[in-house]
Amino acid sequence: MDRCLITSCGGFIGSYLAEFLLSHGCKVAGVVRRDSPHLRDLAGRLEIFTCDVTDRPSLTRVIREVEPTFVFHLAAEDVIPRSWEDPKTTIETNVIGTISILEGVREVTPRTVVQVAGSASEYGRCRPRELPIREAQVPHPQSPYAVSKTAAIQLAQLYAARYEMRVHCVRPFQFIGPPEVS
C-alpha cells in the first residue's frame, strides 16, 4: 500500500487530493498549520500532523514517522497581493519550506517520489508570440510569490540532479471549485 504525505493537506487542493488518494487505497498523512474545515469529511481516515513546513526538524520527524512513498508538496503562501505586503514570509514558506521537504526526504526516505507544486505565475506576462505557453518557456516572475515558486522549482530540480532524488515539478494554472467551506 502506498503511503502518501501531503503538505497543506487542509487546503483546497490538498483536501481533494487526500480524498482521491484514500479512494484509491492509499494510506494518507497530511501536514497542516492549523485545523481546516476542508478535512471534516475525512476525519479518522487520515493521519494529521500540525507543523510549519519551515520547521525542518519537525517536518523531518513527520517524514520519519510516515515513511512516505510519495510526497505531494502543496504548502505555500499563495496570495500574490499578500506577497507584496510580506515578501519575507512568502519566500520563507515557499523556498525554505521546499528545502525542508527535500532535505527531510533526502535524509530519511531518499527513494520517495516528491512532487513539488510550482505555479503558472512563474511565467509572468507573456507576449502573444509566446502563446500558448510551453513548459520550456523561460520564467519571468512578476511578484515575490512568483519568484518564490520559481526558486522552489529550481531547487527541486537541483536536488533531483545532485542527489538523484525522484522529484517531479508541476506548474498548475488556475484552479476552480466550490466556494470556500466555513
pLDDT band at 176 (very low <50, low <70, confident <90, very high): low
* pLDDT of 35 higher than 80: no
Domain boundaries, the chain: 3-170
- Provide the residue count of the chain: 182
pLDDT value at position 180? 58
Mean pLDDT of the chain: 93
13 vs 10: CA distance, rounded Å? 8
* DSSP letter string, 20-33: HHHHTT-EEEEEES
Percent of the chain with pLDDT over 90: 75
- Total Cβ atoms within 10 A of residue 160: 17
Instruction: Provide the CATH topology of domain 3-170.
Output: Rossmann fold (3.40.50)
* Tens digits of residue pLDDT in 44-98: 999 999 999 999 999 999 999 999 999 999 999 999 999 999 999 999 999 999 9
